[in-house]
């Protein structure tokens, strides 16, 4: 299933032409259809329904291309997309495309490149007919980093209340630079970092909970025959 035809029509209109009732209807339709959308806070859901737009592409259509500058953030409303990456054959030195993942309804992509300011690290192609909720790069930053607010985003106030950071110059954090300081969401089951010691980032949990897993080396006890008898 996908969002209703009424919601599609609303999301196909320019944002300035949408009414508050239309935005609410689109938001409710997105909530009922895509569970990932309902995981965002309500005020972010409303902003996405207000500024995002509906797109539908046929099989084989390239949505984003590896190496390009990021322009939009995408949430899949229906269909399946294929993620491919260009790699180098170590034996021949030739370039080839390998499939990295399949993205289905509820998956989103494009946010990492926008937050880090890097170029796209993969190509996303429609496997079948795919409908999307798209948000421009600038609006994505405004929604998730409160770029339009001159007082700074809400998560800065949250950091000031943390006892561990008391006395630390939190106000000097460049919250307008997503490469250094960013507020983002992770779906359940997402690996945030594979090795916390090697990570260049500090993660502060605002809401929710995480599991911390540690790799342990298996070992066998070394016991002499004498100690074993005793």
Please state which of the ranges 32-36, 83-87, 104-108, 181-185 shows the lowest mean pLDDT: 181-185
Six-digit token string for 66: 């590896």
So what's the pLDDT on residue 183?
A: 76
CA dist 59 and 128 (Å) reads: 4
Read off the pLDDT of residues 63-73 as tens digits, 9 standing for 90 and up.
999 989 899 99
Read off the pLDDT of residues 120-158 as tens digits, 9 standing for 90 and up.
889 999 999 999 999 999 998 888 776 555 456 677 888
Helices 20-33 and 42-51, interaxial angle, to 10°?
Answer: 110
Six-digit token string for 193: 């970092």
Comparison of pLDDT for 95 and 52, the residue scoring more: 52
CA dist 104 and 75 (Å) reads: 10
Six-digit token string for 135: 């948000």
10 Å CB burial of residue 150 (0-12, 13-18, 19+) is exposed
226: region left, alpha or beta (phi > 0 left; psi from -120 to 50 alpha): alpha
- Give the chain's radius of gyration (CA, Å): 22
Residues β-bridged to residue 136:
72
What is the pTM for the complete model shown?
A: 0.73
CA dist 52 and 161 (Å) reads: 33
Provide the sign of the torsion angle of the four alpha carbons 94, 110, 187, 77, taken in this order. negative
CA dist 118 and 140 (Å) reads: 15
Read off the pLDDT of residues 2-20 as tens digits, 9 standing for 90 and up.
899 999 999 999 999 999 9
Q: Is the pLDDT of residue 225 over 70?
A: no
């Amino acid at each position: 299933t996908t969002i209703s035809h009424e919601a599609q029509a609303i999301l196909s209109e320019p944002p300035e032409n949408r009414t508050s009732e239309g935005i609410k209807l689109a938001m409710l339709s997105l909530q009922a259809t895509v569970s990932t959308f309902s995981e965002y806070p309500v005020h972010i859901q409303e902003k996405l329904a207000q500024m995002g737009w509906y797109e539908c592409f046929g099989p084989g259509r390239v949505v984003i291309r590896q190496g390009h500058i990021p322009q939009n953030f995408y949430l899949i409303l229906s269909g399946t997309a294929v993620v491919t990456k260009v790699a180098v054959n170590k034996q021949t030195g030739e370039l080839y495309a390998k499939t990295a993942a399949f993205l289905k309804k509820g998956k989103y992509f494009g946010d990492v490149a926008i937050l880090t300011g890097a170029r796209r690290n993969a190509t996303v192609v429609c496997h079948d007919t795919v409908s999307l909720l798209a948000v421009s790069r600038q609006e994505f930053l405004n929604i998730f980093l409160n770029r339009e607010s001159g007082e700074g985003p809400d998560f800065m106030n949250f950091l000031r209340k943390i006892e561990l950071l008391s006395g630390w110059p939190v106000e000097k954090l460049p919250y307008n630079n997503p490469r250094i300081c960013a507020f983002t969401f992770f779906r359940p089951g997402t690996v945030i970092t594979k090795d916390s010691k090697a990570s260049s980032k500090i993660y502060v949990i605002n809401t929710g909970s995480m599991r911390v897993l540690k790799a342990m080396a298996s070992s066998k006890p070394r016991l002499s025959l004498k100690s074993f008898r005793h």
